[in-house]
Amino acid sequence: MGRIKKKGTSGATKNYITRSQAVRKLQISLPDFRRLCIFKGIYPREPRSKKRVSTSSTPSTTFYYTKDIQYLLHEPLLNKFRDQKALAKKISKALGRNEVSDAARFEKNLTPKLRLDHIIKERYPTFVDALRDLDDALSMLFLFANLPSTENVPPKIIAKCQRLTMEFEHYLIRTNSLRKSFLSIKGIYYQATIQGQDILWLVPYRFVQRTGGDVDFRIMATFVEFYTTLLSFVNFRLYTSIGLVYPPRFDAKSEEQGAELAAIQLEVQSGNADADMQDVTATQTNEKAQTEADRLLSLPDAEPSEEPQTNGDAAAEPVDGETETQDTSTTLDQFASLDPKADTLLQPSLTADASTASKLFESFTIFLSRETPRHPLEFILKAFGCKRVGWDTSLGEPGAYCSEDDKRITHQIVDRPDIPLPSPPLTDGEADMEDGEGGAVVRKSNERVPGRTYIQPQWVWDSINAGQLQRADLYAPGATLPPHLSPWVKAKRGEYDPTVPLAEQETAAEVEAAEAEEDEVDEEDADDALAEASEGEEIDGVRGDEEARALEDELEDEDGGMDVELAGSEDEEEDKPTDAAAGAADDDGDFGGFSDNEADADVDAATRAARDHQAELEAEATGKGVAAGKAGDKKKAAREVSQAKRTRAEREELEDVERRKMMMPRRKRKMYEKMVYSNARKDEEAEVLRAKKRKIEKGGGKKSKA
């Protein structure tokens, strides 16, 4: 009979250990255990089955690898934690004996200092590893740099975070390593490329921060302590790699006056005095490579040569009269897809990012108005080549390049409603009254300066994300800004892309549905117009009858209620016809009053004209309706034919797919159905977004026509 194994000595139970067991094994408190795990990068693990791993009747919730806890037994920080615990006991005893001075002396002289240098070297054996893990560090340090000082966040930590983050920003400005930025509701996202590694971090907006009570600042302070050490190492390596002295000189007085980035002054190392020359040489080389690449792209397509091309290692023979030179430009391959229905292949970019970033705002002198965010704009503009940035004195006096009235300013960034144009020139007498002692006319506040471009802050972000300057008129003060899109979100095939026109991404079914909807709307509009026309004609007819009756009443009132014979007698008295004529008229009996015949004729003519006008309107409306109905029937018939053809093709394709699915194994068939379902959900979402854009465009078109 084999030997019975003891429970918990083999299998999955041996590989995991609970948190309480780890604390007892290390003989430290739970807060110190948490700090140690954060410093060493050890996190809880989730086993497949907690019941099999747990040695107690109730399954525990937090497990660690046993090997990780065994690794912590040899950590030098354990001795520091034990020294802190012994010091805390001494201080408590001194305070118990009312020896306050001794307790203060113990805390000042005997407090052990924790050094995390060896942990940084253990966790990041190479510098590239440290750069890859810099995203969270920068986000945390920028967050604490913008927090107000409280009991949980002392001012020393805030000042240290501000200094380290500004040192990092100075390196990005010096090397033009910043690539993209995005304004979101959470804050401002930045992306930089350092030694081939893309680093993305988030900087909160500078609002008044209100810290809640549900935030555990002890855990966050532990991360900040580790990240400050990490960023100090990274900044030292970055500064020394470009020949700068680290740490740079920091002017506390200028920082108090609002200098911010200008408070840090960079110095070149004495042993590497030619570091700037190396940077200039590298920049010139990149410029030459970019110029050559642009020249190659501008050349017409040449016919393929019959001779084989030489490799890059083999040098071509120089032509007589020319010197042999080395071509530093690199021509990248262009990949073309053989299947026209396949996805478009991403082509390699020939643009030199560093040279493009260093020249984007190089020729501009930009002034920042007082309502704009100064620090992010100053950082981005300087990182993309602008050396001349000025701002209002309310934002901080030191470091400003120019004032608002400086004539060298080419662009002014404002975030306010439309700024009025300057007033017309004054006459001689008014100019004498307005001129100051120097003879210069005092410019009114909130008035544009001729020859200066006024733009909103979004123009800076959209320009750097696009890699080229955007149109300034689209970002004028008071103008409706274009949509600010994330530079990291790239629309895939079939998805909604707001940058592409709607006609290029609509499907055939969506186009037909939109046309059918437009035809229905047109028919409804035509019916409404016809109903309104008929109602108007009825109203006109009623009005015509009422006018006729009113005319009759007026004629009766003018007659004063007298008979027709009286009117005839008056006419007879005036005209005095002969007896023969009068007798003939009486014998015939046709003459019954001339005024009544005239009124009846006028009434009959008005009624007849109204009826004729109504008949013409009805005929015209009926004719148009018939024509529109015939055209609509033709469109419907053509649409039904195309829809039938498409439905037949779709039905055949579905049948083909079903036959193929029947030949698949069950596991692959389920996977394919899930994929089809997820793609259908994405297509529905894209269709909804395209429908919204279609309505917006139609609404804008109607407004513009109106």
Do 248 and 367 share a domain, yes or no?
Answer: no
Domain-embedded: residue 97: yes
Do 126 and 232 share a domain, yes or no?
Answer: yes
402 secondary structure, DSSP code: -
Q: Give residue 522's pLDDT.
A: 62
Give dist(CA 98, CA 676) in Å, integer: 76
Domain-embedded: residue 287: no
Structure tokens at 466: 């696009």
Domain-embedded: residue 433: no
Show the domain range for 570: 508-705
Strand-strand pairing, 411-413 and 188-194: unpaired
Do 470 and 385 share a domain, yes or no?
Answer: yes
Domain-embedded: residue 339: no
Domain-embedded: residue 341: no
Q: Give residue 424's pLDDT.
A: 66
In this structure, the number of other CB atoms found within 10 A of the CB of residue 673 comes to 11
> What residues are paired with 455 via a beta bridge?
413
Do 88 and 165 share a domain, yes or no?
Answer: no
62 secondary structure, DSSP code: -
- Distance of CA 129 to CAs 42, 119, 141, 195, 592, Å? 17, 13, 19, 11, 120
Contact 387, 358 (CB under 8 A): no
Do 127 and 256 share a domain, yes or no?
Answer: yes
- For the stretch 412-440, pLDDT in tens is 999 988 887 776 665 555 555 554 444 44
Q: Which residues contact 384 (CB under 8 A, 6 or more apart)?
A: 176, 178, 357, 358, 360, 361, 464
Do 123 and 214 share a domain, yes or no?
Answer: yes
Q: Give residue 279's pLDDT.
A: 52
Do 577 and 475 share a domain, yes or no?
Answer: no
Kind plus residue range of the DSSP H or E element containing 541: helix 508-559
Give dist(CA 141, CA 188) in Å, integer: 14
Q: Give residue 437's pLDDT.
A: 46
Q: Give residue 280's pLDDT.
A: 45
CA-nearest of 23, 21, 27 to 8 is: 21
Q: Which residues contact 189 (CB under 8 A, 6 or more apart)?
A: 180, 181, 182, 200, 201, 202, 203
Give dist(CA 352, CA 355) in Å, integer: 6
Domain-embedded: residue 292: no
Do 396 and 259 share a domain, yes or no?
Answer: no
Domain-embedded: residue 167: yes
Do 556 and 639 share a domain, yes or no?
Answer: yes
Give how many domains the chain has, as a whole number: 4
Which of 56, 78, 109 terminates a domain? The answer is 109
- Distance of CA 527 to CAs 521, 622, 705, Å? 10, 11, 22
CA-nearest of 359, 351, 410 to 384 is: 359
Angle at 210 between CA 204 and CA 214, to 5 degrees: 105
Which of 78, 109, 140 terminates a domain? The answer is 109
In this structure, the number of other CB atoms found within 10 A of the CB of residue 121 comes to 11
Do 260 and 144 share a domain, yes or no?
Answer: yes
- For the stretch 317-343, pLDDT in tens is 333 333 333 333 344 556 676 766 666
* 3-state secondary structure (DSSP) of residue 368: strand
Give dist(CA 608, CA 544) in Å, integer: 10
Do 66 and 135 share a domain, yes or no?
Answer: no
Rg of the chain, C-alpha, whole Å? 44
Q: Which residues contact 92 (CB under 8 A, 6 or more apart)?
A: none
Q: What is the 3-state secondary structure (H, E, C) of 26-57?
A: HCCCHHHHHHHHHHHCCCCECCCCHHHHCCCC
The pLDDT averaged over each successive group of 10 residues in the chain (706 residues) is 71 86 93 94 90 75 91 92 92 92 91 92 94 96 92 92 95 94 95 94 89 85 96 96 92 82 87 52 50 42 37 37 39 62 56 72 93 94 93 79 89 88 62 48 68 94 93 92 89 75 74 71 62 58 59 54 44 46 45 49 62 68 50 59 72 85 88 88 85 77 48
Which of 265, 286, 308 terminates a domain? The answer is 265
Do 257 and 208 share a domain, yes or no?
Answer: yes
Contact 633, 552 (CB under 8 A): no
pTM of the model: 0.68
Give the CATH number of the domain where residue 466 resides. 3.40.50.10190
Domain-embedded: residue 162: yes
